């Protein structure tokens, strides 16, 4: 999977208010499902669905202890996501001259109406 696909999947997983709340909760402490359910006032199936999406995007970790599963923020992967975004999209680039159309841009602009 290339970095753009991976970044898009992670951003898509995060692009939901409940999942952002879960990430915030897990950034503060490791939690079991029942604690997340209580904190969000959602059903177990709803919380499990959100956790599955966050796990698939590698934004959270899960750890089994007996019959319990504990969830935590995958800080390393979240850090990589932020680094990728900063490097690819947010870093300052030197000022460039205005881009001129290339040979591929063979559009007759004389027929375009002004807006």
Q: Using 50, 70 and 90 to split pLDDT, how confident is the model at 98?
A: confident
The domain defined by 3-89 carries CATH number 1.10.10.10: yes
Model pLDDT, residue 89: 74
Model pLDDT, residue 17: 97
pTM for the whole thing? 0.77
Model pLDDT, residue 114: 57
For the chain, the structural domain boundaries read 3-89
Whether 41 shows a pLDDT value over 70: the answer reads yes
Q: Using 50, 70 and 90 to split pLDDT, how confident is the model at 102?
A: confident
pLDDT tens digits for 1-16?
Answer: 788 898 999 999 999 9
Cα distance between residue 58 and residue 39, in whole Å? 22
């Amino acid at each position: 999977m290339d970095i753009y696909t991976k970044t898009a999947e992670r951003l898509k997983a995060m692009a939901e208010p409940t999942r952002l709340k879960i990430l915030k909760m897990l950034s503060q402490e490791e939690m079991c499902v029942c604690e997340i359910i209580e904190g969000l006032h959602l059903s177990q199936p709803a919380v499990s669905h959100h956790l599955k999406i966050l796990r698939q995007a590698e934004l959270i970790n899960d750890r089994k202890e007996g019959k319990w599963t504990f969830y935590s923020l995958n800080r390393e992967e979240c850090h990589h996501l932020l680094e990728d975004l900063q490097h690819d999209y947010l870093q300052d680039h030197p000022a460039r001259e205005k881009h001129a159309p290339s040979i591929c841009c063979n559009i007759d602009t004389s027929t375009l109406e002004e807006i």
